[in-house]
Structure 1
């Protein structure tokens, strides 16, 4: 880390939306604790994505994460808050659900943070002693609190850490140790990136020291604060030079002035000084290589954690998918799916929606992801026949001399992690990582609950069973909800409020008979008496909440991958239009991978998050490239676009009637043929050459696109476009008054 200076915050006084956002926040904060218990803090996420805010924060934070010091060339960065906007926890102070919501829009509370540090930190904000009073101003909060996370804006930030030449880090204070442990700044993956940068710094320093006249980069430039890992470089440089005599002067000085002082001394250094510097670099590197550094685990033992340490220690790592590749897995061969780097309109995790006709591998993709994430031992417990997972076009498979293995490889968005699921076709053995790679939940198309069954094993394979077994029922939600303590019940109620779009006066409550009810308009309706669509989505949402609460205190910060097959099942069109948006708002850190056949479900998705699968002329499954933008498209436009590929939304019987009419007209006696042909051309082809060519090209394109096998859609589109362009060129050369070309 490196201390950041003051800056001029973003001017939001002219933004009309900010006034409304702040009023909504303050109205919520003035509610009673009982009223806030089942409601989430109303925060306008567009604030953190707006250009003035992003530019100001990026400039203030030197275009890099304030904690790990990686810039955008390493990892995705986004605007976050130093003090969390809700559910602050950790340290000696107790958990507060609404601490520090009132600082959500304070410019002095904004930082630039990478997605990995954000994933580790979440809403943890440990402090020594008591927290600041509720609704205290920013200055009072800073004056009265002692955070156990190093504040990048205050104090001598660099003094809390010591860096080794190989990239490892040690905390040298209580704040430093807590920061390292909480954000895993000593993670092997991060230490490797940091060590590579320090190695380059030491190599450049050797060149600068050993050559005279000086060549290459100047020392103060090597230690410039805008560089990635500048804090680590400066820490190593201070260990090397502080207190060392160079050119007759003892190197010392303030942290900010150190690079300039060192650079001037290096320029004046003579041969004996340069030899000692080179020797010192070599000895420090050798010492650091053999030095033992203890790995710290959060929460540290030197303060009492406010949260459940057992839940903290058993939490699975985030398994957000960046890329998944299938090789000879069922009908999928050499297929790669990628998620977009980041959402443009919200801070949540990018998701994926799979479209395509039946039998193009949508469900297979969900199954493959589930198997790769739960690991080989849990995959075996699903008792799936290995032959069902291998290539459908490889014949008998197990009597082949050289059978092809089925492989699913997942590259994760965070921490440089990868997991691989391999089914050895010859030996019928599953290979892969020793345990689950992350928390994954899977739901097949038939999502219903059994009132006689209220429990489910706490195992990875049980959470995805319904993707492989269509008769697997979800646990009865009411029994579990009745067993919850008030805090956990309110967490689930907050989740349901968002997904079910309950009004401000609606509540989730138990009735006098112990049944869980959704009180709409003051009338309580038991869960089991809701409509089929409500029950389907509610059973799934409660089940997701059940599994996430095993590991997370706050569902809004829970991280997992959720796979849903045919998400549109049982839903009314109005629900289909809002289901993805509601799920993503309710669980912003959960990555959903879903399938659907309904264009209404595309609402809530962004460009690049929708993938269309198809079969080519050989029957092989492929991904349709170069899809159009989904923004602003109506449902009927989506149906006739490359997302669904229909040539028309007209009733098929009507189209058939038109075809019969055309045939009847063209069978008229010869005396009426000319007139009939003219009418048909006007009806079908148009008058001009351009209209005829366009009509013919469109007909050919739509015909080819609807074939389950044959010319790829994108090839048909390209051919149709070329035909139209050729027609336009011919029409232009003909000039006004020329005879139209024949179609």
Structure 2
């Protein structure tokens, strides 16, 4: 499942915004970077996508005092490996949204969406999200709810981009690392051993150049263990925030792919990952390489990220960057793509 187009009506600072995420050949791009300063709607775009997808399409809340048309989102998804026989996009909207289309077309669209909403409960249709408000507490491994960490991906999970109380990634990240290591040890040659190997490959790519290497799980305490600058062994809590962030992004995204696509090699599974403020907690000298490392780690994932850092955009191909800029004269947020995006 990959996103090809999104339209926002009365969402955030946008009256009517359409974003095409396709290349010149009409194929969804695997990396899209939304670049701009504060207040230009980058997070609003990610939240709109997360709330309007197969298996999870909810109504948009009207802003207080807003008397205009009801806010809504329209997304077009190419289902890819989730339904190889379907070559045209699946259009998803929130409940009770009326589009400018004949009644017969509207009825068919609603039936198709309902069908794929049911299909999404059975597996596939991966979308994971990471808030810009993400943080890491110092908490130990808690071995509980294994069906919600390794063996099950819930497509109906809501994304939170603003509520910091729901964006502590420590416990979930440690659970993923611990469960995969335990399951791989208990079942040599099993699917879990392949997931463990894929996890090590993903973390090696994301942590490249940092001097940090993932070693596995401590057999006595079940805490994830890393080596730093050669021989010094540390736990996840002792890593810097930049490294912990990359470990969480790699581990949680791979977990979702492996759980939703049990018969596919985890690094070859398809899905969408939304990351708000990709540059958060990342040192300047590593920001430029972040987009390339994400794509290398999980090449079939569509990464849709936001950033205010020019260094991140310098590591991208020109067509992958969409700049959002508020015009001083009108106050409207305008899109700039291609060469125009680079100077904004």
TM-score per shorter chain, which class? 0.7 to 0.9
Taking structure 2 as the reference length, what is the TM-score of the superposition? Answer: 0.73
Q: Distance in 2 between matches of 1:376 and 1:531?
A: 34
Indicate how the Cα distance of structure 1 residues 478 and 517 shifts in structure 2: closer, same or farther if over 3 A, else same.
same
Q: Which residue of 2 aligns with 1:741?
A: none
Residue 425 of structure 1 and its aligned partner are, at CA, apart by 8.9
Indicate how the Cα distance of structure 1 residues 585 and 597 shifts in structure 2: closer, same or farther if over 3 A, else same.
same
Q: 1:188-587 counterparts in 2 under 5 A?
A: 318=1, 320-341=2-23, 349-376=29-56, 379=58, 386-388=61-63, 396-397=65-66, 400=67, 403-413=68-78, 414=80, 415-422=87-94, 433-434=113-114, 435=117, 438-450=125-137, 451=139, 458-462=153-157, 464-472=158-166, 473-474=168-169, 475-484=171-180, 485-486=183-184, 487=193, 488-501=195-208, 506-513=213-220, 514-520=222-228, 521-552=230-261, 553-587=264-298
Q: Is the Cα–Cα contact under 8 Å of residues 405 and 424 in structure 1 kept in the other structure?
A: no
Residue 551 of structure 1 and its aligned partner are, at CA, apart by 2.2
Q: Is the Cα–Cα contact under 8 Å of residues 580 and 605 in structure 1 kept in the other structure?
A: yes
Indicate how the Cα distance of structure 1 residues 351 and 322 shifts in structure 2: closer, same or farther if over 3 A, else same.
same
Name the SS of the counterpart of 2:339 in structure 1.
Answer: coil
Q: Is the Cα–Cα contact under 8 Å of residues 76 and 89 in structure 2 kept in the other structure?
A: yes
More strand by percentage:
2
Q: Distance in 1 between matches of 2:218 and 2:31?
A: 37
Q: Is the Cα–Cα contact under 8 Å of residues 37 and 325 in structure 2 kept in the other structure?
A: yes
Residue 325 of structure 1 and its aligned partner are, at CA, apart by 1.7
Residue 618 of structure 1 and its aligned partner are, at CA, apart by 2.9
Q: Is the Cα–Cα contact under 8 Å of residues 323 and 410 in structure 1 kept in the other structure?
A: yes
Indicate how the Cα distance of structure 1 residues 503 and 565 shifts in structure 2: closer, same or farther if over 3 A, else same.
closer
Deviating more after overlay: 405-414 vs 568-577? 405-414
Residue 424 of structure 1 and its aligned partner are, at CA, apart by 5.5
Matched, 1:611 2:283: no
Deviating more after overlay: 363-372 vs 506-515? 506-515
Q: Distance in 2 between matches of 1:417 and 1:547?
A: 23
Residue 528 of structure 1 and its aligned partner are, at CA, apart by 1.6
Q: Is the Cα–Cα contact under 8 Å of residues 511 and 524 in structure 1 kept in the other structure?
A: no
Residue 604 of structure 1 and its aligned partner are, at CA, apart by 3.4
Q: Is the Cα–Cα contact under 8 Å of residues 23 and 29 in structure 2 kept in the other structure?
A: no
After TM superposition, where is structure 1 displaced by more than 6 Å over at least 4 residues in a row?
502-505
Q: Is the Cα–Cα contact under 8 Å of residues 448 and 535 in structure 1 kept in the other structure?
A: no
Q: Which residue of 1 aligns with 2:336?
A: 624
Alignment root-mean-square deviation, CA? 3.3
Find the structure with the greater CA-based Rg: 1
More helix by percentage:
1
Indicate how the Cα distance of structure 1 residues 495 and 561 shifts in structure 2: closer, same or farther if over 3 A, else same.
same
Q: Distance in 2 between matches of 1:509 and 1:351?
A: 30
Q: Which residue of 2 aligns with 1:655?
A: none
Indicate how the Cα distance of structure 1 residues 374 and 471 shifts in structure 2: closer, same or farther if over 3 A, else same.
farther
Q: Is the Cα–Cα contact under 8 Å of residues 72 and 94 in structure 2 kept in the other structure?
A: yes
Indicate how the Cα distance of structure 1 residues 359 and 603 shifts in structure 2: closer, same or farther if over 3 A, else same.
same
Residue 598 of structure 1 and its aligned partner are, at CA, apart by 0.8
> Larger RCO: Structure 1 or Structure 2 (Cα < 8 Å, ≥ 6 residues apart)?
2
Indicate how the Cα distance of structure 1 residues 477 and 587 shifts in structure 2: closer, same or farther if over 3 A, else same.
same
Q: Distance in 1 between matches of 2:215 and 2:61?
A: 44
Q: Distance in 2 between matches of 1:549 and 1:421?
A: 27
Taking structure 1 as the reference length, what is the TM-score of the superposition? Answer: 0.36
Name the SS of the counterpart of 2:37 in structure 1.
Answer: coil
Deviating more after overlay: 416-425 vs 602-611? 416-425
Q: Is the Cα–Cα contact under 8 Å of residues 354 and 611 in structure 1 kept in the other structure?
A: yes
Q: Which residue of 2 aligns with 1:49?
A: none
Q: Distance in 1 between matches of 2:289 and 2:253?
A: 18
Name the SS of the counterpart of 2:274 in structure 1.
Answer: strand
Indicate how the Cα distance of structure 1 residues 611 and 503 shifts in structure 2: closer, same or farther if over 3 A, else same.
closer
Name the SS of the counterpart of 1:550 in structure 2.
Answer: helix
Structure 2 unmatched runs, 5+:
81-86, 99-108, 185-192
Residue 493 of structure 1 and its aligned partner are, at CA, apart by 1.0
Q: Is the Cα–Cα contact under 8 Å of residues 217 and 225 in structure 2 kept in the other structure?
A: yes
Q: Which residue of 1 aligns with 2:309?
A: 598
Name the SS of the counterpart of 1:404 in structure 2.
Answer: coil
Q: How many residues align?
A: 291
Residue 468 of structure 1 and its aligned partner are, at CA, apart by 4.7
Structure 1 unmatched runs, 5+:
1-317, 389-394, 631-641, 644-743
Q: Is the Cα–Cα contact under 8 Å of residues 527 and 535 in structure 1 kept in the other structure?
A: yes
